[in-house]
A and B are shown apart, each in its own frame.
Chain A
């Protein structure tokens, strides 16, 4: 039985790793598209946790939750890409470091 070998702990570990990779990418990648992809990774890591727990405790509600999250992630990606296109049109770059018009005066 595969169930006895792979338990919820494994799923949660994988999800935590994915989430960590996503968070690190969102912080350290300089390309805005990569930041966007990293954030998607974080959302999907949370999805894995939902589905893993739902499977362990026999709750099908977790599948519905995962679908809601996927829909929201898609909407978020659409808005994010639209903002990026606007930035690319005026600056010809989507490097995060180039966005420095707003800052504290010291």
Chain B
């Protein structure tokens, strides 16, 4: 009976996992012509239906439920970040349907990998102990490594997969070693070693943890900082973003980042928030990483000529803004700060996926030259007005201009940081986002103000159109009605942090 209850609690996870298996089965049994050209709307439909069912279960979730002796915790953080990664996967699958059809790539494996990766992301967001966090992290990452190298005979795609894999596995090994040190330190302080966040919180609270325990915390933090592409762990991001197939890039830019931030929130809540006498040091360290991340990300983005590399550095910069929210949370642990962080990431998911959707529509279709220099967008505003208008919305949102989700997300995170008394950091963040506005607006200028010598063909697909509409709708909708999101977030976060 207990087991059944646990399975009921984690229903969103296994629904998506089973859907992945079903999609794979449909792929190998796909028709008389054999499994090779498995294109088909039914694969997309199964994937989207499973994601929608999981989202529906999460939206209806109430209170805090634990499963498997606390290994999985479905609470406010799990619901909010779980919904964000589901939204990311949902739109990424729509974009991928257009991309894979256009390039004649097989679809079933791709959707199955996206779904399995989503399971890992949700597990990461709902982790109740560090082992679940690690398993979720790896489930998510292993699938995304393959997605990055999905064009497996393409040199750039292969290289992206390899770089992501090596750097990612390296970072995971550091995180795991850090977990082992934390495990031992909890054992030394409390007598029984444990990886559960509750036990870690109790052990780290009274300030008896020795230096080796804090080294462990730093290692785990570094491993998660790699996934969100915070400087100095961002080296992989531009290369991997450029080389990976565009829907994979979009998916890893939003899903991996949101899930890793969920894990980070849980981790800092257990180790840093409660730690007596160490909180100020922790806040300062996170804040410094956040500031370096947003400054470096924005400055390097300005120099880029390839739009995918520019978006990669832009995603580094956005990681910096969200990290500032995490620092504010450690300084002033209130559910409202988590609410701001999750709101930011939800809006970021919509606008970033939208931007990558437009890249997908215009990028060069030749297998040897899969790229899109910014200059090639010139004049697109006159020729493809609807798509160009969508890109304008996404760029304004990324730059943080009202009334988009980007503006209100920045407002929420920055005011949480001001509440926590981190004024200097907020001033630097505002200046950094002013630099950021330059390269986002430059794209709009290129699209409309330059001559219309555009020879580009555009990908025509109803899935792509639907994905772009969904992104634009969310970007503006969540921006115009932040209240509806925040009311929901408040409801699910009630009781979080005791």
* Among A49, A61, A102, contact of B159 (Cβ-Cβ < 8 Å): A102
Query: Beta-carbon contacts of A18-34 to B below 8 Å, as 1s and 0s?
Result: 01001100100000100
> B342 → chain A, closest Cβ, in Å?
27
Chain B interface secondary structure, helix, strand, loop or mixed?
Answer: helix
The yes or no answer to B145 lying at the interface (CB within 8 A) is: yes
Interface contact B177-A19, CB-CB below 8 Å: yes
Interface contact B181-A49, CB-CB below 8 Å: yes
The yes or no answer to B135 lying at the interface (CB within 8 A) is: yes
Query: Beta-carbon contacts of A23-63 to B below 8 Å, as 1s and 0s?
Result: 10010000010010001001101110110111011010110
The yes or no answer to A3 lying at the interface (CB within 8 A) is: no
> A82 → chain B, closest Cβ, in Å?
8
Tell me the chain B residues, 91-122 only, with Cβ under 8 Å from chain A.
none
Measured between beta carbons, the chain B residues less than 8 angstroms from A87 are: 158-159, 162
Tell me the chain A residues, 1-31 only, with Cβ under 8 Å from chain B.
8, 12, 15, 19, 22-23, 26
Count of residues in A whose CB is under 8 Å from the partner chain? 47
Known: A103-B239, A105-B305. A90 touches B158 (CB 8 A): yes
Interface contact B191-A57, CB-CB below 8 Å: yes
Interface contact A102-B184, CB-CB below 8 Å: no
Interface contact B193-A62, CB-CB below 8 Å: yes
The yes or no answer to B29 lying at the interface (CB within 8 A) is: no
> A24 → chain B, closest Cβ, in Å?
12
Interface contact B173-A22, CB-CB below 8 Å: yes
* Among B193, B239, B243, contact of A53 (Cβ-Cβ < 8 Å): B193
Measured between beta carbons, the chain A residues less than 8 angstroms from B5 are: none
Query: Beta-carbon contacts of B140-154 to A below 8 Å, as 1s and 0s?
Result: 001001100100110
Interchain CA distance A70-B290 in the complex, whole Å = 34
Counting residue pairs across A and B whose Cβ atoms lie within 8 Å, the total is 128
Interchain CA distance A89-B180 in the complex, whole Å = 38
Interchain CA distance A69-B309 in the complex, whole Å = 34
Interface contact B177-A79, CB-CB below 8 Å: no
| A8 (CB) vs chain B CBs: closest residue | B184
The yes or no answer to B166 lying at the interface (CB within 8 A) is: yes
* Among A54, A76, A102, contact of B169 (Cβ-Cβ < 8 Å): A76
Interface contact B176-A43, CB-CB below 8 Å: yes
Chain A interface secondary structure, helix, strand, loop or mixed?
Answer: helix
The yes or no answer to B477 lying at the interface (CB within 8 A) is: no
Interface contact B166-A35, CB-CB below 8 Å: yes
| B146 (CB) vs chain A CBs: closest residue | A79
* Among B153, B159, B170, contact of A101 (Cβ-Cβ < 8 Å): B159
> A18 → chain B, closest Cβ, in Å?
10
Measured between beta carbons, the chain B residues less than 8 angstroms from A65 are: 131, 183, 195
| B153 (CB) vs chain A CBs: closest residue | A90
Measured between beta carbons, the chain A residues less than 8 angstroms from B191 are: 57
Please report B residues at the A interface, Cβ cutoff 8 Å. Answer: 131, 134-135, 138, 142, 145-146, 149, 152-153, 155-156, 158-163, 165-166, 169-170, 172-174, 176-177, 179-181, 183-184, 187-188, 191-195, 238-240, 242-243, 305-306, 309
Q: Can you sample 6 A-B contacts with CB below 8 Å?
A: A26-B170, A65-B131, A76-B138, A90-B155, A99-B159, A99-B162
Top 7 closest pairs, chain A to chain B, by CB:
A49-B180, A42-B173, A53-B184, A102-B239, A57-B187, A46-B176, A46-B177
**Told that A57-B193, A69-B176 touch, could you supply 5 new A-B pairs with CB distance under 8 A?**
A15-B180, A26-B166, A42-B170, A68-B135, A83-B161
Please report A residues at the B interface, Cβ cutoff 8 Å. Answer: 8, 12, 15, 19, 22-23, 26, 32, 35, 39, 42-43, 45-47, 49-50, 52-54, 56-57, 59, 61-62, 65, 68-69, 72, 75-76, 79-80, 82-84, 86-87, 89-91, 99, 101-105
